[in-house]
Structure 1
């Protein structure tokens, strides 16, 4: 029950107040009601995406062009837990398919062979995660110079001149797709040591162009052009 001024009648109790809140045309209440319903819808979509991906947040915004032409700055990328739906030929129990294995199996993601992963550089939670393609796996102590493509070793002529060689521990060698700005492995440039499986936050699955600009604008990184593609929280930069 309400009174003549379109306010809830205190004699009606909680049920009457709730009924008034849902039916009234009061401007302030209408605004609150619409905002609450929008927030609820966004929250439900987020929970659905989390249920599918197993990763939170399940969406990251690309901050730079290090994955061009297969990802662009401002893309919104859906990320999934790497072990979910991974093929049998993934590396061990990591759920990740490196480019070399992928070429043999014709497994492609974002226009090229191999998984694109979001990882924490050197396992550091305080650094913005990187979103780059996995190239190959190395074992602890391995001289991976002989296994590397000499175009991407940063000018090194042998393992002694190559950063992170021999490999300080087992992990993945990674690289951005941009042939101009990223003509080196992340490990050769010092962006990260070989990426341990525990440093990986998920694999990139789908991208939605332009939608990431909203997040980049809010975070103040819309005009920044970092050397690598990272992904912290809902923002993913590319190195």
Structure 2
């Protein structure tokens, strides 16, 4: 006979309760962020601000909320650091501008979570040579110059356009065929590379004579010493982030997975420790302080019920309703 004291029944009830609570939590996060999964685990140290880890910046082992937002809602560092821009002063995760999560060249794999530095926007566009094959190089699509972007609508109403000049919102770059910006505090807000200056390498971020391959956002890890994801063609000395097809190009709207929201520190360390993927760095980049903090969190979760139980029992016993019910039972 199965009763309320049956251990199996109690176990099944507790498992169902736990599953229900997790489902409610995930659905709540989905409703808040609009993304599924609503969280990502940070694997690398490319966004850290302190080697010992800190709350407010993104460390390896953190869980980060992923907000489903279109490209036109992303605020770049260039915009947020320009006093003349409406979004001036906007900060996320310890610096000006949004941090975005994107798919490398739209090819899948482990997403990248880096800061949006600037956006390159087409100004003057021309119709391409429509006889060129889709995989042909830019020079065949655009024999008169420019960058061929198959995601931009041309003057003839078809997708695929030759971008002749560019704008960079939040900067003085308007209608330029190439992009040169020094984030030196004069030409644009100061961006500290946290590296010593030497031949052809400045201590601040410099985009030099860059002809973007397409419209989109330039990205950079806060801890990457000005080595932008788009490689050396954009910023001298940059290693770039690579996908199967090569260095990551400016981030398109269709590659944007989401915008980084709030962080839940330390808890992602468990997933990294259990990850068996040989391509994953595991917990190599997790700050030592995160292990101690994670231990305190787990200990707190385990000890809290034991500490609260006697307090709650005392509260319940002293409740007027309980006393009244007890008195009525004694009178009967």
Compute the TM-score of the two structures, normalised by the length of structure 1. Answer: 0.70
Counterpart in the other structure of 1:232: none
2:181–2:208 Cα contact (<8 Å) kept: no
Q: CA deviation at 1:148?
A: 5.8
Q: What is residue 138 of structure 1 aligned with on the other side? A: 120
What secondary structure, in the 3-state scheme, does the structure 1 residue paired with 2:263 have? strand
With over 3 angstroms needed to count, the CA separation of the structure-2 counterparts of 1:50 and 1:164, relative to structure 1, is farther
More displaced 10-residue stretch of structure 1: 93-102 or 108-117: 93-102
Answering whether residue 104 of structure 2 is matched by residue 121 of structure 1, we say: yes
Comparing both chains, which one has the higher relative contact order based on Cα–Cα distances under 8 Å and sequence gaps of 6 or more?
1
Secondary structure of the residue that 1:147 maps to in structure 2? Answer: strand
Tell me whether 1:207 sits opposite 2:187 in the alignment: no
The answer to whether the Cα contact below 8 Å between 1:118 and 1:131 also exists between their aligned partners in 2 is: yes
Larger radius of gyration: 2
Choose the corresponding residue for 1:77, options 41, 59, 64: 64
Do structure 1's residue 49 and structure 2's residue 29 form an aligned pair?
yes
Shift of 1:168: 1.4
Determine which of 23, 26, 32 is the counterpart of 2:6.
26
* Superposed displacement of residue 26, structure 1: 1.4
* Structure 1 contact 118–204 (Cα < 8 Å) conserved: yes
Contact 1:139 1:171 in 2 (8 A): yes
Q: Give a deviation string over 1:152-194, Cα, whole Å, max 9, x none.
A: 7xx989xxxx99952111000000001xx44311001331111
RMSD across aligned C-alpha pairs, in angstroms? 2.8
The 8 Å contact of residues 214 and 250 in structure 2, kept in 1 or not, is answered as: yes
* Selected match of 1:110 from 93, 114, 130: 93
Give distance in 1, aligned partners of 2:213 and 2:92.
Answer: 28
What is the number of residues matched between the two proteins?
188
Gaps of 5+ in 1: 1-5, 8-19, 84-92, 227-239
Query: Counterpart of 2:316?
Result: none
- Checking the alignment, whether the CA contact within 8 Å between 1:138 and 1:144 is kept in structure 2 is no
